[in-house]
Structure 1
Amino acid sequence: MLRVAVIGSGPSGVYTAQSLIEQQTVPDIEVYVLDRLPCPYGLVRYGVAPDHEKIKSLQNNLRTVLEHPKVHFLGNVEVGSPGLGVQELREIFDAVVFCVGAATDRHLGIPGEDLPGSRPATDFVAWYSAHPDAAATRFALAARSAIVIGVGNVAVDVARMLSRRAPELAATDMPQGPLGALADSHVEDVWMIGRRGPSQAKFTTKELRELGALPGTQVVVRPDELALDPAYRDPGELPAVGRRNVEVLRGWAERPADAAHAAEHGRRIHLRFFLRPVEVLGDADGVRAVRFERTAPDGHGGVTGTGEFEEIEGQLVLRSVGYRGTPQPGLPFDEATGTVPHKEGRVLRNGTPLPGLYVAGWIKRGPTGVIGTNRPCAKETALSLLADAATLAERATAEDPMAALTRAGQRPVPWPGWLAIEAAEAEWGHGLGRGTVKLPDWQGLLAAAHSADVTG
């Protein structure tokens, strides 16, 4: 038997497990999907916005893989903790595939970035997604003006959630704390700002269009900023997504100003381009504005500063300029790219493959692509592992992974424990007069999971 551990139960981890069990070359294979959290699905559960129910329904497809007889989900397993490093994993499993994503946000590297009220967008996403690590996080949303720095899909999600009304989200699985904060929100203006032009924005067209469909919210764009982008004037050479984005933005820019229409909308989303943040302004009491330098295209796909500056008022600043992978104990790490060096998924140290160690997903290729991008990435890694199967299976491993993990100081939550969490979340939501509502903290999640030990 070939026994494989997949570290991470998000799309890249589950697609890796799926590729391993669907192949025909190694029929006797068992895949153990380990996750630090007691819940599966990674960013599909804790990164996709609660109002994106269609995307969140991908959990049903991932669930099918995790319920396969040859796949075993074990949550609440802290890989890298004392007693469960790479060496111990290799004693339990024939091969280990790290699918741990990119866990931290990138920094702006400007003065004032760490002032009170200036936060990573990842904190805001974790808060409204009920990530247990964010249980102590609070966003009072007393700000009248919020600034989102970045023009990717996460930035769009954050801008949209800041502009949503609580009744629109009551039917989602958002926990009560964030829902109540949105009900009490004072935010009237949301600024989403990019340092380059609209043709280079990273959001997808579907996400962009959703901003224009928000009830009671007006999208404001400046035609002069859009026209500054050469590709905006002639988008024919752009990829399809870029062309569609330009069409949407052009439609908003060409819409005639209508004071009566604006008065109907209590909130506004301002899309700004060619502005580079240079300083977050404020003091110990909080932020009050962000200072930006106007930029211009440099003719080579980048931008250059013009020496002209603008301050935009805001009492909340959310930085959404990308994710970054973090070093994994026992694995080599490329600080420049935030990834683990590899060749076709095989982990490399000084150019030499480390036997039995593999990577897939963002820790392999960087935080790029959409959920579906993980499929070919995972398949490539799985094929490399399977090509090495004969050598990997020659090693003697521990007989029972569950027992070995327990001896290593872990208290794994198997699939029945996750089902108990699901049941508890459905029951809690029902008691609140809502649908399923996420349990927001470690204590609640583990209490629900371990109730399965008692109930059977």
Structure 2
Amino acid sequence: MSGHKLLFSGLKLWTSGSSKWIDRLHHGVNRTGKAPFSSCNPKVCIVGGGPAGFYTAQALIKARQDVEVDIYERLPVPFGLVRFGVAPDHPEVKNVINTFTQTAKHSRCSFYGNVNVGEDVSVEELQRAYHAVVLSYGAEGNRRMGVPGEDLAGVYSAKDFVGWYNGLPSCRELGPDLSCETAVILGQGNVALDVARILLSPLDILKKTDITQPALEALAESKVRRVLVVGRRGPTQIACTIKEIREMVNLPDTRPEMVAAEFEGITEALKDLPRPRKRLTELMLKTALGIPDEKEQERRTKASRIWGFRFFRSPVEILADPDHKKTSGIRLAVNRLEGSGETARAVLTGEVEDVTCGLVISSIGYKSLPIDPSVPFDSSKAIVPNSMGRVQQAAGLYCSGWLKTGPTGVIATTMNNSFDTGRSVVEDMDSGTLDVSAGKPGSQSISALLDKRGVKPVLFSDWEKIDAVEVRRGEAIEKPREKLLTVEEMLLEARK
């Protein structure tokens, strides 16, 4: 699906808003690509150059002819999780970058990479320079499992593992140990299935993607032949989408390994499920209990790798080898469900079971982190407390994306939530709640501050130099791109 189609589908979903706002989104584009700059123009700063940041910028630029938007990003490269989170074998999801590039190149939008808000410049300094500040820096922390042994060698967060194979500079040194036969992934969302698929995919498939060369080399040597994807609830509560399950079912050289008993009663429950959940559950049932046809049976017999779901299980402890240095297995509590459907709760039965494995990947969710002492932060929910994106008790401060909602949904979800925040900012400008009558210096004063502090931002045109180098490097080895893996390399190319 192209970025444009994605955007259009999001707008169709969004007809509940005021007609004035919808009209602005359709007609507010500056067709000439030029805008009269003025010190009196409303100036908005967005912190975070991922999907939430770009969608918020897009909404603001289209809604008002006079608003100027500056996006600040910690890394020298834009696009956040579209670059570093989307699986390499899902290139179609990255098409949204085309839309973000159009926004970045708009005459009333500027991108400043390599600027670490909270360190290089404070949120309070941004608030003095801009009429509104929107925090859209996402969720870069890990939710911990809170079980003994989770710091052993061989235990990784899915966020770091995904960052490693996608070229996130901070994960470059991860070097996961893939020398074991069995890997256990905790969590059953789309990210968990991405990780399972990457671990089991034939190299011929991965070689054609933008997966990093070090990850490709490590996977070529990998001894992992069996991946179990574990969830605390049952088949009808699984968090992934049907597309990801279908990809696992059709993955070459693999066969499924399920526990029939975990699907008891599921056939009867099917009739009460909403259609998308019903189709997904039917596919799992067919995979787990169906009798494969001759062709499928032959494919499964020849398969050298195994994947499977394990339901009604929660981690209790990561087990160590005799030297207490690395993972040798995982102890799982056996659960039963109380209630049904989405609200069903997993309750401990008192039973446990041990699974031998040398690799444990925790995919139980990303977590937002506080950025600055001046910004309200709810540590228990790991979000900035807000109402429709308006940060509570902080006039002129807004948030969008996962920082606003928690790490939930797909890119279209983030799009709609970011559009909602954009609408809140514009409503506040229109109503006078946000005073935009006094001129603000915007990037002019922030650039001067950064210059004084020895920080040199990477502009979007600089990113395009990095982009060209990566694409060229990829072409040389028949890949869509070969990413630069360190901030130093990125800055070197940006400065040329």
TM-score range, shorter chain: over 0.9
- Quote the Cα distance in structure 1 between the aligned partners of 2:492 and 2:167: 16
Q: Size of the alignment, in residue pairs? A: 442
**Please, which of 367, 388, 405 is the counterpart of residue 450 of structure 2?**
405
Partner of 1:316: 359
- Quote the Cα distance in structure 2 between the aligned partners of 1:318 and 1:136: 16
Code of the aligned partner of 2:165: Y
**Please, which of 360, 373, 377 is the counterpart of residue 413 of structure 2?**
373
Partner of 1:333: 377
RMSD: 1.8
Partner of 2:281: 246
Q: CA deviation at 1:328?
A: 2.0
Other structure's SS at 1:440 match: coil
The question of whether the paired residues in 2 share the 8 Å contact of 1:172 and 1:437 is answered with no
Partner of 2:262: 225
Partner of 2:183: 146
CA 1:61/1:236 → structure 2, altered by over 3 Å: closer, same or farther? farther
Deviates more, 1:239-248 or 1:156-165: 239-248
| Identity across matched positions, percent | 37
The question of whether the paired residues in 2 share the 8 Å contact of 1:16 and 1:378 is answered with yes
**Please, which of 224, 244, 250 is the counterpart of residue 207 of structure 1?**
244
- Quote the Cα distance in structure 2 between the aligned partners of 1:221 and 1:60: 40
The question of whether the paired residues in 2 share the 8 Å contact of 1:40 and 1:75 is answered with yes
Aligned: 1:14 with 2:54? yes
- Quote the Cα distance in structure 2 between the aligned partners of 1:210 and 1:112: 32
Partner of 2:96: 58
Code of the aligned partner of 1:216: D
Q: CA deviation at 1:39?
A: 1.1
The question of whether the paired residues in 1 share the 8 Å contact of 2:253 and 2:300 is answered with no
Aligned: 1:127 with 2:186? no
Q: How does 1:154-173 map to 2 (within 5 A)?
A: 154-173=191-210
Q: CA deviation at 1:308?
A: 2.0
Q: CA deviation at 1:446?
A: 1.2
Other structure's SS at 1:148 match: strand
Aligned: 1:446 with 2:491? yes
Other structure's SS at 2:116 match: coil
Aligned: 1:87 with 2:112? no
**Please, which of 155, 159, 169 is the counterpart of residue 118 of structure 1?**
155
CA 1:357/1:232 → structure 2, altered by over 3 Å: closer, same or farther? farther
Partner of 1:33: 71
**Please, which of 391, 397, 401 is the counterpart of residue 361 of structure 1?**
401
Q: CA deviation at 1:27?
A: 2.1
- Quote the Cα distance in structure 2 between the aligned partners of 1:232 and 1:322: 30
Structure 1 unmatched ranges of 5 or more: 452-456
The question of whether the paired residues in 1 share the 8 Å contact of 2:208 and 2:478 is answered with no
- Quote the Cα distance in structure 2 between the aligned partners of 1:426 and 1:261: 36
Other structure's SS at 1:392 match: coil
The question of whether the paired residues in 2 share the 8 Å contact of 1:226 and 1:273 is answered with no
Partner of 1:78: 116
The question of whether the paired residues in 1 share the 8 Å contact of 2:253 and 2:299 is answered with no
Other structure's SS at 2:167 match: coil
The question of whether the paired residues in 1 share the 8 Å contact of 2:367 and 2:407 is answered with yes
Q: How does 1:159-308 map to 2 (within 5 A)?
A: 159-227=196-264, 230=265, 233-256=268-291, 261-283=299-321, 284-299=324-339, 301-308=344-351
| More strand by percentage | 1
**Please, which of 382, 387, 397 is the counterpart of residue 343 of structure 1?**
387
- Quote the Cα distance in structure 2 between the aligned partners of 1:240 and 1:449: 49
Q: CA deviation at 1:261?
A: 4.7
Other structure's SS at 2:378 match: coil
Q: CA deviation at 1:375?
A: 2.4
- Quote the Cα distance in structure 1 between the aligned partners of 2:159 and 2:399: 23
Q: CA deviation at 1:396?
A: 4.1
